[in-house]
Amino acid sequence: MAPTSFSLELNTPVYRGTVSVDTRLFIGGSFVVPVESGEIEVVNPSTTKVIASVYAGTAEDVDLAVAAAKKAYKNSWGLKVPGTERARLLKQVADLLEANVDEFAALEALNVGKPFMMAKNMDLKFAVSTLRYYAGWADKVGGKTIETNETKFSYTRREPYGVVGNIIPWNLPLLLLCNKLAPALAAGNTVVIKPSEVTPLTALKFAEIVSQAGFPPGVVNIVNGYGNTVGDAIAHHHDISLVSFTGSTVVGRKIQEAAAKSNLKVVHLELGGKSPNIIFDDANLEQAVKWSSSGIFFNMGQACIAGSRIFVQAGIYDKFIAEMTKVAQNLGSHTGDPFEETTQHGPQVSQVQFDRVMGHIRSAKTAGATIHVGGYQHGNGGYFIQPTIITDVKPEMKAVKEEIFGPVASLIKFETEEEVIEMANNTTYGLACGVFTENNSRAIRVVHALEAGMAFVNCYGLVDVQVPFGGYKQSGIGREWGQEGIEEYMQVKAVHVNLGLKI
């Protein structure tokens, strides 16, 4: 049997102290060992060494978690609890997260490989804001009264679904957990969460502060495990009314299939992307280069909204590539230990991801593309890949069509606005897009023509919790964040009251 806790003393330039988590499942308000014995080894991608072992559940544990969530929904959550009380608890957990931000950031840096400062200033900052933002909504969503006929009173009301399943990816583990949990709980649902098997540590730490915040037992349940056991059980469960998944399009399709084969649960999907980022001749070159670089290299390219196809108009193509090369090389020289203050670029999350990204780079080369900069492993002993720019690409190449999910940008030259819209839309994805131009009418015309759920003008990836996030086409179904984000977790009931009409 694996130990029931993990703790590590870190003495680094950016974090000094202990990090610790309970390694069991969190069901019905307590940490418990799974029904069947099972463990997952947790790897530090900066060293490729195993750092911890956590317990892994199976379908039986999902059953227990759903039962606990169902009971909590009936007795101590849902619309029984006023929105102001749900808000109070969400604010409480936000405060606790903020008070422990360094330890959470250290766990994220250790497990995901992202620079500690990035985990702290991006992931954790947004996670806290998301909890507070939806605490604000918890007592503000309602229905409307609808005028029909004076003998009748009609109104709608927004009700929670009951038990919802949240399946979380590994790229922004705690942030994306909060993106789902906060609106789900604010709306009055109870949750069964499956963290990624690759990055389970911050979810377990989060379970501790959920307890401390005083949530009734069973409102939040966390079942670590693999996709083909725990994820599959959630997607097929008859007592789960909605499942929200962030991850690959391949798995998203399986979840929708499972929903269709079981109870037709509502499915929210936040999937992959191959987002176009278009730079016109009249753009502010310096700004376009900076935003485009962070747009693809952010989080080691492990971001669904990454602007991975950068279209540059012929007039500034040479200048743009020269400047972006400098940014990529500079980032390359700040690659390394996530716990160093100056590190800006860490490893890919796992061997599997490292191999996938390197495979894409090799396949681009084989297909005749030019690896303009980067394209190789950085150092040895971690899953580090140098920021990479590929040129001379053709629309049919894998590097242009498939999501790479690594620090790899394809640069494509274009001549006209019409041509670039066609090329940009020529993908099965539709998550985000970017347009750089000083001509406002052109900016608006182009973002309206692009098939994407989110558009950035003269910036890239500049998201806010108040604004909905999600994709068109095969990039997903539904929206997170904003008012839309909480409405996704509520269903509308229409009520017709007869005020005296007799038949």
Ligand X SMILES: *[C@@H]1O[C@H](CO)[C@@H](O)[C@H](O)[C@H]1NC(C)=O
Applying CB under 6 A, the residues found at the interface with ligand X are: 149-151, 395-396, 401, 421-423, 425-426, 439, 441-442, 449, 451, 501
Q: 54: closest CA among 200, 273, 268?
A: 200
Instruction: Give dist(CA 13, CA 76) in Å, integer.
Output: 44
Pick between residue 159 and residue 451 the one whose CB is nearest to ligand X.
451
With CA atoms as reference, report the closest residue to 191 among 217, 166, 161, 158: 166
User: Out of 197, 270, 323, 480, which one is annotated catalytic?
Assistant: 270
Nearer to ligand X, 314 or 322 (CB): 314
CB of 319 to ligand X, least distance (A): 19
**Nearer Cβ to ligand X (126/472):** 472
Q: Which two tokens stand for residue 38?
A: 């099972």
First to last CA, the chain: 70
Q: Which is nearer to ligand X, 91 or 398 (CB)?
A: 398
Nearer to ligand X, 254 or 401 (CB): 401
Question: Is the Cβ of residue 54 or residue 433 nearer to ligand X in the bound state?
Answer: 433
Residue 338 burial (10 A CB sphere; 0-12, 13-18, 19+)? buried
Cβ proximity to ligand X: between 284 and 426 the closer is: 426
- 270 assigned to active site: yes
In the three-class reduction of DSSP (H, G, I as helix; E, B as strand; rest coil), residue 172 is classed as: coil
Q: Smallest distance, Å, CB 446 to ligand X?
A: 9
DSSP string, 223-243: ----IIIIIHHHHH-TT--EE
Q: To the nearest whole angstrom, how small is the minimum distance from the Cβ of residue 480 to ligand X?
A: 25
Closest to ligand X by CB, 151 or 466: 151
For ligand X, the nearest residue by Cβ is 425
CA distances from 322 to 241, 329, 406 (A): 52, 11, 21
Closest distance between ligand X and the C-beta of residue 254, in Å?
24
CB of 472 to ligand X, least distance (A): 11
Separation between Cα atoms, residue 151 and residue 423, nearest integer Å: 57
**Residues 6 or more apart in contact with residue 123 via CB below 8 angstroms:** 105, 108, 114, 172, 174, 175
Element (H, E) at 454: strand 454-457
**Ramachandran assignment for 28, one of left (phi > 0), alpha (psi -120 to 50 degrees), beta (any other):** left
CB of 150: closest distance to ligand X in angstroms? 6
Distance of CA 438 to the CA centre of its chain: 31
Two tokens, residue 182: 């906060």
Q: What is the closest distance, in whole angstroms, from the C-beta atom of residue 495 to ligand X in the complex?
A: 17
Question: Which residue in this structure is represented by tokens 């007869």?
Answer: 498
At 310, give phi and psi (nearest 5°): -100, 115
* Phi, psi values for residue 145, rounded to 5°: -95, 145
Instruction: Give the relative orientation of helices 101-112 and 173-186 as an angle to the nearest 10 degrees.
Output: 130
DSSP assignment of 72-141 equals HHHHHSGGGS-HHHHHHHHHHHHHHHHHTHHHHHHHHHHHH---HHHIIIIIIHHHHHHHHHHHHHTTT-
Minimum distance from CB of 430 to ligand X (Å)?
10
What residues act catalytically?
270
